[in-house]
Amino acid sequence: MRVAVVGTDHGHIIEITRTLAKAGAEIAVIVPTEDAIGPWLASKNPDAKVASSLDEALDLGVDLVATAAIPGDRAEIGLTAMRAGVDVVTDKPGATSLEQLDALRAAHAETGRNYTVVFSERLGNPAMVTAQRLVDEGRIGTVVHAVGLGPHTLNLANRPQWFFDPSRYGGILVDIGSHQVDQFLAFTGSTDGEVVSSAIRPHAEHAGVEVLGEMLLGSDRATGYARVDYLTPAGLGAWGDVRFTAVGTAGYVEARYVDQTVFVVDGDRKETIECQDHAVTWAADLLVGRPLDQEHVFTVTRICLEAQAGARRRDPIPLSV
Amino acid sequence: MRVAVVGTDHGHIIEITRTLAKAGAEIAVIVPTEDAIGPWLASKNPDAKVASSLDEALDLGVDLVATAAIPGDRAEIGLTAMRAGVDVVTDKPGATSLEQLDALRAAHAETGRNYTVVFSERLGNPAMVTAQRLVDEGRIGTVVHAVGLGPHTLNLANRPQWFFDPSRYGGILVDIGSHQVDQFLAFTGSTDGEVVSSAIRPHAEHAGVEVLGEMLLGSDRATGYARVDYLTPAGLGAWGDVRFTAVGTAGYVEARYVDQTVFVVDGDRKETIECQDHAVTWAADLLVGRPLDQEHVFTVTRICLEAQAGARRRDPIPLSV
């Protein structure tokens, strides 16, 4: 499978590219869309051609376009790729408006191409992969609740312009909250969900930077809560102490990102599982024809967009940086 | 200070009595209101007189009435005690209706007696006491968010009749959710708060048993989320994996009940603090004339009652026990 990497604005493209290559894909083309990540990625993939546009990349003959362009630009890349008969792998979020989502849905339906959004906090996180396996095996019974906490480092000095403009990144509940919506649906086995309540708090000195977002979610079988923020302090030594907890009728499971552990408790015992060496399989699954459930991808996207659009805008958070 | 223990329906009275005695109070009278805890408590306090009613206890000359009667009966005990010129220490919740709350507020205002609700997950929990000290010292900056998770063991076979009747225990968001409302206000420094959204899920086979409750809270400075449930599996070996996390502008702190640890991260470092031997001070503070902030007690109670009254009743949770 020949892959064109088109859009390198978010560092997630490094992990996406690496994971695809490790699964056996050929990184055939790279289209850098900024000055740092793209050129570096090209230097690490010397066999890949460097191209200057999506069209040029498609002309070189590829099977899949992978993108971590500016979030607002990803849908157009995905649409063009699918219409050219090519599968798509995009960093989350894949869309920043309902119009983009509708167009992506339509293009997927028309072309039959795979459209994958890499919800990396679940799909690329060995602790979460392990936690989900335990849940799928029935270890904690029927899941009735989920809490996802997604703190991130603010790091304003190194953020690109688009980080300051919600019209380009989609708002915090779309940009990073999409992870938690994905987790809620996946762990509760819900095929649909609703936003019960949502809110955001912007940065006091940068109105376009949303520092905290939260949402209460519901489905026909479970409820869930998610908070995302840019309040990770430097002392953590990691970008975010991401936690996910699923509570079931027969136990619960907690996945921790920072130390890659899963803590699971059932009717008989409690157990801490070290997951550092556990496999991440989304790319390998994709390459053998088991893509992420397509309806799930679109449903997650819709819920995030609804959460963001309906969010109560609360007082700015006073931050000195 | 001579204490009358009046109402022994909830096991919390054991810890309340022990803590008062340890702080120097004299356990002078015990009025058992059921057949197990009360007689046992009397046997452990052989110097205390056993009386058969609140009036009889008051006639024996006491300074404080402590109660863990059936939740719906606590307000009447508190009212009578205050009107008799006696301070009150009650297990949470102190009231199960707004009428009871109004009457307690009025009696407190008229008599000037102290009315303490022991929100034990904060006040009686060394890890929480330590976490709050760190927050009060400014270690994590201005607190903007709190998450409180309060799982409990269902243990239906050993539950009294009133556990099956929300009109007597007040509903899950009042009975056990009061802890998390207390924590939210205390850690965010909020003097008031609102319920943004709340929901409960009853037991599929016991409609009066509310198995899960959740609420989204807001104040002028922070938001918070709380979930309480009776889904703790036997394998934990403890009644509940209670967690509390406060996120501030300069760091965050997590208090864990099960192993009595606090994890705190600030701009410089991360630290795990073992709190098993840290002091619990609410009773000693009370005895030297530093009672719990009275307005806080009433505000917590009001918010819980509002959360419960406004809760969306979701589908029952299928449980086999």
Q: In this predicted model, what pLDDT tens digit does every residue of B209-227 receive, in sequence order?
A: 999 999 999 999 999 999 9
Residue in the block written with tokens 């520092």: A211
Nearest CA in chain A to B199: A223
At a CB cut-off of 8 Å and minimum separation 6, what does B257 contact? B121, B125, B127, B128, B238, B240, B241, B242, B243
Q: Do A229 and B250 touch (CB under 8 A)?
A: no
Q: Which of B196, B212, B266 sits opposite A233 (nearest CB)?
A: B266
- Phi (first) and psi of residue A218, to 5 degrees: -145, 155
At a CB cut-off of 8 Å and minimum separation 6, what does B59 contact? none
CA distance B201 to B230: 11
Query: In order of start, what are the domains of chain A with their CATH numbers?
Result: 2-118 (3.40.50.720), 121-312 (3.30.360.10)
Terminal C-alpha separation, chain B: 44
At a CB cut-off of 8 Å and minimum separation 6, what does A306 contact? A194, A195
Residue percentage of chain B with pLDDT more than 90: 99
pLDDT tens for each residue of chain A, 321 residues long: 999 999 999 999 999 999 999 999 999 999 999 999 999 999 999 999 999 999 999 999 999 999 999 999 999 999 999 999 999 999 999 999 999 999 999 999 999 999 999 999 999 999 999 999 999 999 999 999 999 999 999 999 999 999 999 999 999 999 999 999 999 999 999 999 999 999 999 999 999 999 999 999 999 999 999 999 999 999 999 999 999 999 999 999 999 999 999 999 999 999 999 999 999 999 999 999 999 999 999 999 999 999 999 999 999 999 977
Q: Which long-range contacts (CB under 8 A, 24 or more apart) does B53-62 make?
A: B54/B4, B54/B6, B54/B80, B54/B81, B55/B80, B56/B31, B57/B4, B57/B6, B57/B29, B57/B31, B58/B4, B58/B84, B58/B86, B60/B4, B60/B28, B60/B29, B61/B2, B61/B28, B62/B2, B62/B3, B62/B4, B62/B28, B62/B29, B62/B86
Q: Which of B212, B247, B270 sits opposite A231 (nearest CB)?
A: B247
Summarised one tens digit per residue, pLDDT across range A39-56 is: 999 999 999 999 999 999
ipTM, two decimals, is 0.96
CA-angle at B115, arms to B109 and B120, nearest 5°? 150
CA distance A111 to A226: 34
CA dihedral for A162, A165, A167, A171, sign (positive or negative): positive
Bridge partners (DSSP) listed for residue A210 = A202
At a CB cut-off of 8 Å and minimum separation 6, what does B173 contact? B198, B200, B210, B213, B215, B228, B304, B307, B308, B311
What's the token pair of residue A238? Answer: 């990691």
Is B277 in contact with B265 (CB distance < 8 Å)? Answer: no
Nearest CA in chain B to A231: B249
Residues of A in contact with B248 (CB under 8 A): 231
What's the token pair of residue A2? Answer: 């020949």
pTM of the model: 0.97
Nearest CA in chain B to A319: B249
Cα maximum dimension of chain A: 58
Best of B143, B144, B205 to disrupt the A interface (most A CBs within 10 Å) is B144
Find, among A52, A51, A99, the residue nearest to A75 by Cα. A99
What's the token pair of residue A182? Answer: 């994905």
Q: Do A196 and B201 touch (CB under 8 A)?
A: no
What's the token pair of residue B95? Answer: 């009231």
Residues of B in contact with A204 (CB under 8 A): none
**Whole-number pLDDT of residue A321:** 75
Find, among B55, B49, B44, B54, the residue nearest to B17 by Cα. B44
Is B317 in contact with B206 (CB distance < 8 Å)? Answer: no
Residues of B in contact with A147 (CB under 8 A): 147, 149, 225, 227
Q: Which of A212, A233, A268 sits opposite B251 (nearest CB)?
A: A233
Find, among A26, A6, A19, the residue nearest to A66 by Cα. A6
Residues of A in contact with B202 (CB under 8 A): none
Residues of A in contact with B200 (CB under 8 A): none
**Whole-number pLDDT of residue B195:** 98
Task: Compute the nearest-CA separation of A251 from chain B (Å).
Answer: 5
Task: Find the length of chain B.
Answer: 321
**Whole-number pLDDT of residue B78:** 98
Please report which confidence band the pLDDT of residue B320 belongs to, taking 50, 70 and 90 as the band edges.
confident
Find, among B21, B22, B15, B16, the residue nearest to B2 by Cα. B21
Burial class (CB in 10 A: 0-12, 13-18, 19+), B72: buried
Residues of B in contact with A145 (CB under 8 A): 212, 214, 227, 229, 231
Task: Compute the nearest-CA separation of A161 from chain B (Å).
Answer: 23
Best of B149, B200, B272 to disrupt the A interface (most A CBs within 10 Å) is B149
Is B75 in contact with B96 (CB distance < 8 Å)? Answer: yes
Summarised one tens digit per residue, pLDDT across range A20-36 is: 999 999 999 999 999 99
Bridge partners (DSSP) listed for residue A212 = A201, A229
Q: Which of B144, B149, B318 sits opposite A249 (nearest CB)?
A: B318
Q: Do A214 and B216 touch (CB under 8 A)?
A: yes
Best of B249, B257, B261 to disrupt the A interface (most A CBs within 10 Å) is B249
**Whole-number pLDDT of residue A320:** 79
Q: Do A249 and B317 touch (CB under 8 A)?
A: yes
Please report which confidence band the pLDDT of residue B61 belongs to, taking 50, 70 and 90 as the band edges.
very high
Q: Do A269 and B235 touch (CB under 8 A)?
A: yes
Average pLDDT score over chain B: 97
Residues of B in contact with A196 (CB under 8 A): 197, 199, 312
Please report which confidence band the pLDDT of residue B273 belongs to, taking 50, 70 and 90 as the band edges.
very high
Give chain A as a 3 state SS string: CEEEEECCCCCHHHHHHHHHHHCCCEEEEEECCCCCHHHHHHHHCCCCEECCCHHHHHHCCCCEEEECCCHHHHHHHHHHHHHCCCEEEEECCCCCCHHHHHHHHHHHHHHCCCEEEECHHHHCCHHHHHHHHHHHCCCCCCEEEEEEEEECCCCHHHCCHHHHCHHHHCCHHHHCHHHHHHHHHHHHCCCCCEEEEEEEEEECCCCCCEEEEEEEEECCCCEEEEEEECCCCHHHCCCCCCEEEEEECCEEEEEECCCCEEEEEECCCEEEEECCCCCCCHHHHHHCCCCCCHHHHHHHHHHHHHHHHCCEECCCECCCC
Best of B214, B220, B266 to disrupt the A interface (most A CBs within 10 Å) is B214
CA distance A148 to A128: 11
Summarised one tens digit per residue, pLDDT across range B158-184 is: 999 999 999 999 999 999 999 999 999
Tell me the residue type at A228: V
Please report which confidence band the pLDDT of residue B321 belongs to, taking 50, 70 and 90 as the band edges.
confident
Summarised one tens digit per residue, pLDDT across range B79-108 is: 999 999 999 999 999 999 999 999 999 999
